[in-house]
Amino acid sequence: MDPAEPSTAAGETVFLDRLQWERLIHLLQEEGYRCIGPQVREGAIVYDTLEDADRLPRGWRDRQGPGRYRLQREDSPRQFAWANGPQALKPLLFAPREDLWQARCDGARGLDFQARLPREEKRAVLGVRACDLAALALLDAHFLAPSDRGGGRPDPAYRIRRAQLFLVAVDCSHPADTCFCAATGDGPAARSGYDLRLQELEAGFLATAGSRAGAELLARLETRLPTEAERRAARRQLEEASRRQTRRLPASLDGVLRGRQEHHHWHAVAERCLSCGNCTAVCPTCFCHHEGDEPALDGASSLHYREWDSCFTRDHSYIHGIVIRAEIRQRYRQWLTHKLDYWHAQYGRSGCVGCGRCITWCPAGIDLTAEVEALCRD
């Protein structure tokens, strides 16, 4: 769905059986979309090109905790009975590495610069979680509307990829122990930003269109109105998903962490933090990067590229011979304070959407909700 297109009111909720769900995937492919969906790869659920519904993680459940992620199989027809894997939408829009432009020597005319833009490709992502839709809204605010914060221009590569994206959201019915999207207000139900929203039950899905393109696609399927029992089951499922989440963050940390820059707990967390950058790599809203040049061996041309970076690396704060944040304590403080505090001034809300990935994929098992609680305790 093109983010520039005005949002449409949610359509009528219908019931989609599993046969029609498979037909939906084929319809998207017929419309020229490359379908991308969750699949089991090397012990994790990751997004990859999806040929048909048989590749979806049917009967798989995840078990997550601080520094721990495991999959197990169950006898269930459900394909989305898991919380999330290490990926979100970010790699599909803000590429881990991409060429921005090429400079070439052009004889007497000197240097010639040519933009390197990604090819336009229609992609449909299946199984998007509510927390990742909230993260996408933040990425849109950063990459598509920078003029509100200093006169910049929308990022051309991000804009091309974003305009070609069709999003099929699936409400989270089985949150992980590390999830806290209910506390941040970003889940477990998808509220906006989707083309189609699904709620999975044993026999099929409750489906609601969120865009004109979603409504047109849904109209081509054989559907029926859900029964009252199915509606109740979907409501109970969401209520239970919210109830199961026990981690919390304060309602607002705007200005709070800025006033605790010398708190003794920063030293305590630094003793455990490896400064590996795993948390920023899996975070669906982190967008730090660095840029560099890759000259050709003949010296006639050079590629200028952009690559993901992390505020946990020493070089990220290197300025003219000085590493500003040489200590791990300073790097962790920068990450947490920026994401949970300063983002309120920049984007009107916290940069955390409660997905819990940074907790699960931290090799030291650091739990940011516990760290914030300790920082705010005294």
Averaged pLDDT for residues 227-236: 97
What is the residue extent of each domain of the chain? 14-94+118-243, 257-288+310-377
Peptide bond into 188 cis (omega under 30): yes
Model confidence band, residue 106 (pLDDT cutoffs 50, 70, 90): confident
C-alpha triplet 321, 322, 323: angle, nearest 5°: 130
Model confidence band, residue 208 (pLDDT cutoffs 50, 70, 90): very high
Residue 116 φ/ψ, nearest 5 degrees: -115, 100
Q: What is the model's pLDDT at position 149?
A: 52
Q: What is the model's pLDDT at position 111?
A: 86
Q: What is the model's pLDDT at position 147?
A: 52
Contact 335, 318 (CB under 8 A): no
pLDDT tens digits along 327-373: 999 999 999 999 999 999 989 999 999 999 999 999 999 999 999 99
pLDDT tens digits along 157-183: 999 999 999 999 999 999 999 999 999
What percentage of residues in the chain have a pLDDT greater than 70?
A: 96
Q: What is the model's pLDDT at position 176?
A: 96
Contact 124, 36 (CB under 8 A): yes
Contact 257, 341 (CB under 8 A): yes
Q: What is the model's pLDDT at position 250?
A: 85
Residues forming a β-bridge with 64: 69
CA distances from 348 to 144, 314, 341 (A): 16, 29, 10
Q: What is the model's pLDDT at position 5?
A: 41
